[in-house]
Amino acid sequence: MNINRWILAHFSPTGGTKKVADAIAKGLGTEVVDLDLSRETAEFSLMTEDALMAVLPVYAGRVPSIALERLSAIKGEGHKAVAVAVYGNREFDDGLLETKDALEAQGFTVIAAAAFIAEHSIVRSVAAGRPDEEDEKIARQFAADIMAKQEGSAPVQVPGNRPYVEPHPSAYHPAAGDACVACGVCAANCPVGAIPFGDPGSTDNERCINCLRCVQICPMQCRALPMPFLNWITNMLAEKAAGYKKPAIFL
C-alpha cells in the first residue's frame, strides 16, 4: 500500500523540532497534515493510505511524557510510521527508542527513524544555527529514502536501552522578573498549563516541564531560569555537547 498522506505530529515548544519536521516534510512529496502536540490534540482517525511521523524533542534522555500522551490518541492498524528525535547536541539516549516503542504500542509499523540536532533550547549557544543547510539536505534525503522503501518495508532497529533512563525532574523552573506586565502571553502558550492566568508572573512547578517556550515568547523578556541553574547547565554542556554531531538515520 503506497503512502498518500503523512500526519506530521510534532511537539516543539521553542521551534527547533518543528524546523526538523518541516525539513523532512519538504522531501516527502505527498500531502502533509500538521499536528501540533504542544496544544491539546483531538482524536485523529487515519485513512488506509495515511502514515504517521512523530517528531519529538529529547529532554534528559527521554521524550516529554505529555507529547507521548497526546500522540497516543492516534491509533494505527498496521499503518506505517516514522520516529524522529531532535536533541541539543548532547545525546538522544533513549528518546528515539521510547518514541518508536510508543508508536508500535499504538498499532504502527515503524519503518524508519532518525535523530537530528537543533539548537539547545536551554543554552541557545549550543548547536546554534542547527538544523543547518547540511541537516536540511540530510532531512530531504531521509524523506526520499522513506518514500522509496515504503513497499514491503521491514521494521527498523534503533539504539537505546530498556528500561529507559530514569526521568529526573528539575528543581528549577522559569519565573517572571519585575518587568512582567501581566499580559498573559506566556500563560496562553504554555504547553502544559503551568502558568496561572490570574498570576502569570508565577509558575506551577509541579506541572512545568522546563520547555522554555515562556522564556522565548515573553515580549518583556522577563521570564528566565534561575542563574545558578543556567550556569551549571552551561558548564555541563560545554563539556558534554561540544563538537559537531551529525544526524543519525535508521532505515
Ligand X SMILES: Cc1cc2nc3c(=O)[nH]c(=O)nc-3n(C[C@H](O)[C@H](O)[C@H](O)COP(=O)(O)O)c2cc1C
208 binds, among ligand X, ligand SF4, none (CB under 5 to 8 A by kind): ligand SF4
The verdict on 116 binding ligand X (CB under 6 A) reads no
Among 87, 108, 142, 250, binds ligand X (CB under 6 A): 87
User: Of 160-179, which residues contact ligand SF4 (CB under 6 A)?
Assistant: 173-174, 176
For ligand SF4, which is the closer residue by CB, 33 or 183? 183
Burial of 180 (0-12, 13-18, 19+ CB in 10 A): middle
For ligand X, which is the closer residue by CB, 74 or 211? 211
What nine digits make up the cell of 223?
Answer: 521570564
89: DSSP letter: S
Least separation in angstroms between residue 193's CB and ligand X is 17
Distance (Å, rounded) from C-alpha 158 to C-alpha 72? 20
The verdict on 17 binding ligand X (CB under 6 A) reads yes
Using alpha carbons, list the distances in angstroms from residue 140 to 9, 136, 209, 231, 246: 17, 6, 31, 36, 15
The verdict on 118 binding ligand SF4 (CB under 6 A) reads no
219-238 exposure pattern, b = at least 16 Cβ within 10 A, e = fewer: eeebbbbeeebeeebeeebe
Going residue by residue from 200 to 219, which x/- string records binding to ligand X, judged by CB under 6 A?
----------xxx-------
What nine digits make up the cell of 131?
Answer: 538544523
Binding-site ranges for ligand X (CB under 6 A)? 12-18, 57-61, 86-91, 118-122, 210-212
